[in-house]
Amino acid sequence: MSPHNASPSLPIVAFIGGGNMARSLIGGLLQAGASPAQVRVAEPVPALREALASDFGVQVFPDAATAATGADVWVLAVKPQVMRDVCATLAPIAQGQQPLAVSIAAGITSAQIDHWLGGGIAVVRCMPNTPALLGAGVTGLYANAAVNPAQRDIAQTLLSSAGETVWIDDEALMDAVTAVSGSGPAYVFLLAEALQAAGEAQGLSPAAARTLTIETLLGASRMLAADDTPAAELRRRVTSPNGTTQAAIESFERDGFRDIVARAVHAARVRGAELAAAND
């Protein structure tokens, strides 16, 4: 994992797409010391483009090619279903400039990005998650063979501005990263929904159930992050013999809670692989 840091010595970075994840990365970079002059953004929607310029003072462009020309790093932040077309428009520029391409599109492989950009391109594939919008995300990264150490450091700087980073050596495991952390916040939100609803069913007011749920999840997460104590040990410590927590845990176990989670993560991983195949 990495500290949250960014270097003002970053090269010119062009964000191809100015949506929420791009905004979070741009904000993190600037907060960590990068200059707005180092950042370009291609965003076709005028309102979003104007907001980026107003909020961050960065250079904005209506088309990808203008933003990418002269930039050493391209952050490909468009939807997976349009990635092929966007890369096709950028391929001639990529072949001339040989940029570092950093993709945050789910289900699109580094080989696909490289091929669509004309071949021989350094590609870092990333899977951030939505807490990056608060600077509290985690990102899995994979570098193809064309990425040199300096480019790897640049990718690290970019993504660590939005939270922790974990490098993955085998790209085939990026679908597992997506299944665990990329989709993971939704699992926590589903648990929060269920826990709040259960509290209300037991007579708590919606406001009380919401506060108790949120603060419990937040506190438990902080305990997990505080040191290297395994989750199983933390669970054991709070589970008194024959107490209320044991009764709840035994109910979870009887209903196959672990199997439910395992099947859900497997389904997400399989879907990630299907998305990549669909874009071939």
What Rg do the C-alpha atoms of the chain give, in angstroms? 21
Tell which wins on pLDDT, 88 or 279: 88
In a domain, 170, yes or no: yes
Domain count across the chain: 2
Tokens for 152, please give them.
Answer: 């790897």
CB count in 10 Å sphere of residue 143: 24
| Mean pLDDT across 34-47 | 95
In a domain, 83, yes or no: yes
Give CA separation, 200 vs 195, 204, 218, in Å. 9, 5, 19
Q: For 89-112, what is each residue's pLDDT tens digit?
A: 999 999 999 999 999 988 899 999
- The answer to whether residue 3 scores a pLDDT higher than 60 is no
In a domain, 26, yes or no: yes
What's the full length of the chain, in residues? 280
Listed in sequence order, the residues at least 6 apart from 259 whose beta carbon sits closer than 8 Å to its beta carbon are none
In a domain, 7, yes or no: no
CA distance 246 to 224: 20
CA distance 173 to 26: 27
User: What 3-state DSSP class applies to 155?
Assistant: helix
Say whether both 188 and 266 belong to one domain: yes
Say whether both 203 and 150 belong to one domain: no
Structure confidence at residue 212 (pLDDT): 98
| Mean pLDDT across 177-204 | 96
Say whether both 171 and 33 belong to one domain: yes
| Residue written as token pair 């640049």 | 154
Full domain range(s) for residue 38? 13-175
Burial class (CB in 10 A: 0-12, 13-18, 19+), 167: middle
Single-letter amino acid, residue 253: E
Structure confidence at residue 1 (pLDDT): 37
Say whether both 151 and 85 belong to one domain: yes
Say whether both 38 and 77 belong to one domain: yes
Looking from the CA of 222 toward its CB, the CA atoms found within 13 Å total 6
In a domain, 58, yes or no: yes
Percent of the chain with pLDDT over 90: 84
Rounded to the nearest integer, the mean pLDDT of the chain is: 93
CATH number at 188 reads 1.10.3730.10
In a domain, 104, yes or no: yes
In a domain, 29, yes or no: yes
Say whether both 81 and 205 belong to one domain: no
Structure confidence at residue 9 (pLDDT): 61
| Mean pLDDT across 68-79 | 96
Domain boundary (141, 175, 209) is at 175
Say whether both 44 and 134 belong to one domain: yes
| Mean pLDDT across 21-46 | 92
CATH number at 115 reads 3.40.50.720
pTM score, two decimals?
0.86
User: What 3-state DSSP class applies to 127?
Assistant: strand
Q: For 103-153, what is each residue's pLDDT tens digit?
A: 998 889 999 999 999 999 999 999 999 898 888 999 999 999 999 999 999
* Least confident piece of the model among 23-32, 46-55, 192-201: 23-32
Domain boundary (175, 204, 230) is at 175
Say whether both 29 and 164 belong to one domain: yes
Say whether both 193 and 256 belong to one domain: yes
Tokens for 49, please give them.
Answer: 């483009």
- The answer to whether residue 7 scores a pLDDT higher than 50 is no
In a domain, 1, yes or no: no
Domain boundary (175, 200, 233) is at 175
